[in-house]
C-alpha cells in the first residue's frame, strides 16, 4: 500500500522534511515514488508547500496520507481556496 508521508532531510538539530509518496513497508528515509512537497518547521511560522494536483492524483490511485500530511493538506486546500476566491 502506498502512503503519503514525511521524509526527514536536513542537518542534525535542523530538521526539514519532504512530503513523499512511498510504499508503506519502506523505511522513513528509504525509497519513494515521488516528492510532492516539503515542510520546514524551523521558521516561525513553519513553511509547508504541497502540489495538491499530484497529491490528489496519488490519493485517487489509493495512497493513504499520514496524520501530519492530512493536516497539511487541509491547510493547503484552505489557503488555495482563500487565494482563489
Residue 9 pLDDT class (50, 70, 90 cuts): very high
- Alpha carbons 51 and 26: distance in angstroms, whole number: 22
Average pLDDT over the chain, rounded to an integer: 93
Flag whether pLDDT at 50 surpasses 70.
yes
Residue 79 pLDDT class (50, 70, 90 cuts): confident
User: Where are the domains positioned within the chain?
Assistant: 2-84
2-84, which class in CATH? alpha beta
Residue 85 pLDDT class (50, 70, 90 cuts): low
Contacts 24+ apart (CB under 8 A), 46-55: 48/72, 48/75, 48/76, 49/76, 50/19, 50/76, 52/76, 52/77, 52/80, 55/4, 55/19
pLDDT at residue number 25? 92
Amino acid at each position: 500500500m502506498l502512503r503519503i508521508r514525511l521524509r526527514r532531510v536536513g542537518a542534525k538539530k535542523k530538521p526539514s522534511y519532504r512530503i513523499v509518496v512511498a510504499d508503506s513497508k519502506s523505511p522513513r528515509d528509504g525509497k519513494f515514488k515521488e516528492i510532492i512537497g516539503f515542510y520546514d518547521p524551523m521558521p516561525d511560522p513553519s513553511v509547508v508547500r504541497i502540489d495538491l494536483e499530484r497529491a490528489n492524483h496519488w490519493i485517487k490511485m489509493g495512497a493513504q496520507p499520514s496524520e501530519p500530511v492530512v493536516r497539511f493538506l487541509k491547510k493547503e486546500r484552505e489557503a488555495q481556496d482563500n487565494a482563489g476566491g
